[in-house]
A and B are shown apart, each in its own frame.
Chain A
């Protein structure tokens, strides 16, 4: 069974440009999460989808970040326009169960991350 995949693995862009990160979760996983690790800091939650719906986007830094999950399958995270402080590693994770009451107990499977560098 394929794991969580992310594309691209690395992205280097200039400040002010747009970048789109993609995450393909494990097939059948309703829950999809985005996390980010800025250098020197801990990994932080960005947002959570249940199928195609945003369940919690309390971790999104600002309105330059837009996440979508088309048809409840893959997800994209767009940064527009990118700023220097957006540099970091963006992780995607997925887990089973659509009922939020069970989500807290379920293992999240992580992708390898996308390393974003904004120059």
Chain B
């Protein structure tokens, strides 16, 4: 069975400092991994995705994630936080076992950015 675990439910950073949101996955297959973001009262937006190409994935708004098979991790980073980054972030794995593409979500991490 596939699963993802987001290691922090809340992360607080100061504006201009680095962001690290941690995610570990479990998968019997070579996984397809995603990070989605949800701003208040908005739908989920894809930040980036890993589908077995380059292990360092660049996404929108300056976010990156690195796929580390040996550590079964897919942590999300950004060098410098902006106030507009405050949102809830979801680490997601695609269920390739059933080939339906259904997504399996982590519990979510709320990012707070302080001025």
Contacts and interface: CB of A to CB of B under 8 A. Distances in A.
A100 B94 CA distance: 12
Given A111-B43, A112-B42, A112-B43, A100 B107 contact: no
Nearest to A41: B107
Interface in B19-75: 32, 34, 36, 41-46, 49, 51
B100 A100 contact: yes
A35 B100 CA distance: 14
Nearest to B45: A110
Interface residues of A, number: 30
Interface string B87-115: 00010001110111111111110000000
Contacts of A59: 102
Contact of A45 (B32, B36, B104): B104
Given A110-B43, A113-B43, A45 B99 contact: no
Interface of B: 32, 34, 36, 41-46, 49, 51, 90, 94-96, 98-108
